[in-house]
């Protein structure tokens, strides 16, 4: 079954690449738009129990890394970890600079990096099991 994953990925590289670019553009828009937190506060609903910012950052960058590595399989995977970590750092600086209700946080940068490392680990596991 694990060999099937590699075959499936090879057959669907073009679709995964399209998904990667759509995800990257949408992610950038979501991370740089005005904060919607005040809109939620007007509804008097506490979403705190459903939402953990650090888990969201980690998961978001894990998926970004997986899509990047699977989209461009000829590129060394560590390159994506570096590029997406720098991207996460840049996004945090822009959030702090743009003053749109978002905040600059070092912990978000760390979670972005951890998500990239988890994505790298998952791809390495898939590659080893399929060799």
pLDDT along the chain (131 residues), means of 10: 70 90 95 70 53 87 96 92 96 88 88 96 78 53
How far are the Cα atoms of 84, 99, 104, 119 from residue 116, in angstroms, in the given order?
7, 27, 19, 5
Q: Write the DSSP string, 71-102.
A: HSTTS-HHHHHHHHHHHHHHHHHHHHHHTSS-
Query: Tell me, what's the pLDDT at 50?
Result: 53
DSSP 34: P
Query: Tell me, what's the pLDDT at 75?
Result: 92
Query: Tell me, what's the pLDDT at 35?
Result: 72
DSSP 41: H
Query: Tell me, what's the pLDDT at 98?
Result: 86
Pair of tokens at residue 13: 């590289």
Report pTM. Answer: 0.82
Count, in order, helices (H) and strands (E) of the chain: 6, 0
């Amino acid at each position: 079954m694990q060999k099937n994953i590699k075959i499936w990925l090879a057959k669907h590289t073009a679709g995964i690449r399209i998904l990667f670019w759509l995800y990257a553009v949408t992610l950038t828009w979501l991370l740089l738009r005005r904060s919607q937190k005040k809109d939620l506060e007007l509804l008097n609903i506490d979403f705190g129990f459903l939402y953990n910012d650090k888990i969201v950052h980690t998961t978001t960058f894990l998926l970004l890394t997986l899509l990047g590595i699977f989209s461009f399989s000829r590129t060394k995977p560590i390159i994506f970890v570096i590029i997406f970590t720098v991207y996460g750092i840049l996004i945090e600086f822009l959030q702090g600079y743009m003053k749109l209700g978002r905040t600059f946080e070092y912990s978000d940068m760390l979670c972005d990096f951890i998500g990239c490392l988890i994505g790298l680990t998952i791809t390495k596991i898939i590659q080893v099991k399929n060799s």
